[in-house]
């Protein structure tokens, strides 16, 4: 992909990534690699971090405050459905909410807190009504490629999610990691965005530094799910291309 944006995920998103947010300037592959170290080593002008919560924000903010040549773009991946208070929820998908500025942090806290309080789930869960209620000009909505409503409607049996963005203009992520259904989701996404005049963005989720680190990542996921490598039970875990190395190989642009 050309002009692809890397979306880093850290170990603060429990059970998803083996990258850290430690304030380090050099990459050390003998231990978990830091997103901050990758950013500094490759002189990334903007470092996009997408997390399942807010816990890593201030640590990242402090690290990048010392590095004026690199800007932090922080996003929160949050689940959304029609009715968060329902006992059974079959229409859950995900959105990424990016903070556009400092005020965006405080606006996101309000949205995240509401998503935590107004449902019967252990994790934050928005409704489409809450999204429009708490959305501000300081936030940007991105529909993720693999966990957005289009992917859910396409890949999940008897799933029919009807989004309600109101006046929000979401951006739809496009990804490719050599997974068989990538082209199917991309085709549906491109068609939907063309019909509704929505913008698309080439993205690349990154959970580990080198593609060879996929075995360590898989072992990490197995530990979290109480499974083992002989029978990992990891749904759709069929690619080693969620690495920063793969991002570079696929045309990712960095400053040297």
- Over residues 3-24, the pLDDT tens digits come to 899 999 999 998 899 999 999 9
Residue 256 is assigned to a structural domain of this protein: no
- 53 domain-assigned: yes
Q: Is residue 254 part of a domain?
A: no
- pLDDT tens, residue by residue, 83-129: 888 888 889 999 999 999 999 999 999 999 999 887 666 789 999 99
- The model's pTM: 0.93
In a domain, 94, yes or no: yes
Q: Is residue 193 part of a domain?
A: yes
**Residue 172's domain spans which residues?**
5-249
- pLDDT bin (cut points 50, 70, 90) of residue 255 is very low
- Residue 93 domain flag: yes
Strands 5-8 and 46-51: parallel
- The total domain count for the chain is 1
Tell me whether residue 255 is in a domain.
Answer: no
Q: Which residues contact 215 (CB under 8 A, 6 or more apart)?
A: none
List, in order, residues 6 or more apart from 54 with CB less than 8 Å away. 76, 108, 109, 112
Q: What is the CATH number of the domain that holds 244?
A: 3.20.20.140
Please report which helix (H) or strand (E) contains residue 193, including its range.
Answer: helix 182-196
């Amino acid at each position: 992909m050309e002009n692809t944006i890397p979306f880093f995920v850290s170990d603060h998103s429990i059970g998803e990534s083996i990258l850290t947010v430690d304030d380090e300037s050099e990459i050390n592959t003998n231990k978990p690699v830091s997103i901050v170290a990758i950013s500094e080593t490759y002189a990334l002008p903007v470092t996009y971090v997408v997390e399942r919560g807010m816990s890593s924000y201030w640590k990242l903010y402090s690290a990048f405050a010392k590095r004026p040549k690199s800007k932090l773009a922080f996003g929160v991946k949050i689940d959304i459905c029609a009715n968060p208070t329902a006992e059974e929820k079959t229409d859950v998908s995900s959105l990424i909410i990016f903070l556009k500025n400092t005020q965006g942090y405080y606006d996101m806290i309000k949205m995240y807190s509401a998503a935590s309080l107004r449902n019967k789930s252990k994790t934050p869960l928005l409704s489409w009504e809450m999204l429009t209620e708490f959305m501000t000009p300081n936030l940007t909505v991105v529909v993720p490629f693999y966990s957005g409503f289009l992917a859910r409607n396409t890949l999940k049996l008897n799933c029919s999610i009807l989004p309600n963005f109101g006046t929000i203009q979401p951006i739809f992520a496009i990804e490719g990691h050599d997974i068989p259904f990538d082209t199917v989701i991309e085709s549906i996404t491109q068609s939907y965005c063309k019909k509704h005049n929505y913008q698309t963005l080439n993205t690349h989720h990154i959970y580990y530094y080198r593609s060879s680190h996929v075995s360590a990542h898989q072992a990490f996921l197995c530990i979290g799910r109480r499974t083992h490598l002989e029978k990992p039970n990891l749904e759709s875990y069929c690619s080693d291309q969620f690495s920063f190395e793969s991002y570079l190989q696929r045309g990712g642009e960095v400053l040297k």
